[in-house]
């Protein structure tokens, strides 16, 4: 029995315990996979957008988009067109054996979808993929296996992301840089800088720009989308490498968990957050992404985290 399959079984049991109200449908096409809950769009897993796979859009229970649509589609009149590499929700890093997988400059690396290992729907939805990290010279640096397991109840939608980076080609070092790692770019009117009521809140009670670079078990980013307050929270599981993560979360809308960027986040300049994965070994990063309506308090984000932290 694979770890991904076992994880899906355990997650299904957990959903039953908390009262999952949704039935999920997973459909595949040439571009990737669509996930729906009770017939309503939750997200699409796109196997390629720019140099990497992404999730876009991410949709709240009330049907509002939570992530910026640019550059996957032409920018809406109110959408900023900065940071083209910030594509909805993604997993990359700015220094992997010296290769930049974060940006889309002339010498960036590519994360290439290799295969879907598992796709299933029902009481939960499961997507398991394998991907190759390829340098600008065409040589493989490492690979990952990512498991995304989706759930929902009457109040929120969520998915658990277990990300295993495997040193299949020799030792792999995730270098110390703020440019990473598990990240999203929020919808334009949600961001704090839009000055429409957007807010960043972390598990330590820090808000907005004070939350940047700080360690926390979770961060929530909420604000208005049309006539509704909605938000997206990312939670870091205690078994994840580097827990509790630092957070590269910006008032302009970038929102990333990054356990590696100590030099930028903590200082002094001698700090080094790099992590080496020995040949044949792996690194596990674990997050829960919660898509919600209302504020942090409305969505009971702290309570959801308590439940997540207890999961296997």
Alpha-carbon distance of 167 to 150, in angstroms, equals 27
245-283 tens-digit pLDDT: 999 999 999 999 999 999 999 877 778 999 999 999 999
pLDDT tens, the chain, 312 aa long: 445 444 444 444 444 444 557 999 999 999 999 999 999 999 999 999 999 999 999 999 999 999 999 999 999 999 999 999 999 999 999 999 999 999 999 999 999 999 999 999 999 999 999 999 999 999 999 999 999 999 999 899 999 999 999 999 999 999 999 999 999 999 999 999 999 999 999 999 999 999 999 999 999 999 999 999 999 999 999 999 999 999 999 999 999 999 999 999 987 777 899 999 999 999 999 999 999 999 999 999 999 999 999 998
Sequence-distant (6+) residues with CB within 8 A of 161 are 91, 146, 147, 148, 182, 285, 286, 287, 288, 289
Question: Alpha carbon 222 to chain centroid distance?
Answer: 16
82-103 tens-digit pLDDT: 999 999 999 999 999 999 999 9
pLDDT of 3: 52
Question: Alpha carbon 43 to chain centroid distance?
Answer: 12
163 close to 91: Cβ distance less than 8 angstroms: yes
HSE value, Cβ hemisphere, 13 Å, CA-based, for 117 = 16
| pTM flag (> 0.75) | yes
Record the tokens describing residue 20, joined without a space.
């999952």
């Amino acid at each position: 029995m694979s770890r991904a399959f076992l994880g899906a079984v355990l997650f299904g049991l957990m959903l039953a315990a908390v009262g999952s109200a949704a039935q999920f449908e997973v459909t595949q096409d040439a571009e990737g996979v669509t996930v729906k809950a009770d017939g309503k769009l939750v997200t699409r897993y796109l196997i390629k957008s720019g140099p990497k796979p992404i999730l876009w859009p991410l949709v709240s229970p009330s049907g509002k988009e939570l992530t910026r649509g640019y550059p996957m589609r032409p920018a809406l009149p109110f959408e900023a067109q900065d940071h083209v590499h910030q594509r909805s929700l993604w997993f990359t890093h700015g220094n992997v054996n010296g290769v930049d997988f974060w940006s889309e400059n002339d010498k960036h690396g590519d994360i290439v979808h290799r295969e879907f290992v598992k796709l299933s729907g029902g009481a939960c939805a499961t997507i398991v993929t394998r991907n190759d990290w390829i340098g600008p010279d065409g040589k493989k640096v490492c690979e990952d296996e990512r498991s995304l397991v989706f759930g929902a109840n009457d109040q929120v939608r969520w998915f658990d992301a277990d990300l295993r980076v495997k040193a299949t080609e020799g030792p792999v070092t995730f270098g110390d840089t703020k440019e990473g790692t598990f990240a999203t770019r929020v919808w334009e009117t949600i961001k704090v800088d839009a000055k429409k009521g957007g807010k960043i809140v972390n598990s330590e009670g820090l808000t907005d720009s004070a939350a940047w670079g700080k360690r926390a078990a979770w961060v929530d980013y909420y604000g208005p989308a049309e006539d509704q307050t909605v938000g997206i929270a990312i939670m870091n599981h205690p078994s994840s490498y580097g827990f509790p993560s630092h957070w590269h979360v910006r008032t302009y809308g970038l929102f990333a968990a990054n356990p590696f960027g100590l030099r930028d986040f903590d200082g002094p300049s001698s700090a080094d957050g790099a992590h080496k994965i020995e040949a044949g070994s792996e690194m596990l990063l674990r997050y829960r992404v919660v898509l919600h309506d209302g504020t942090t308090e409305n969505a009971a984000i702290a309570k959801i985290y308590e439940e997540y932290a207890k999961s296997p």
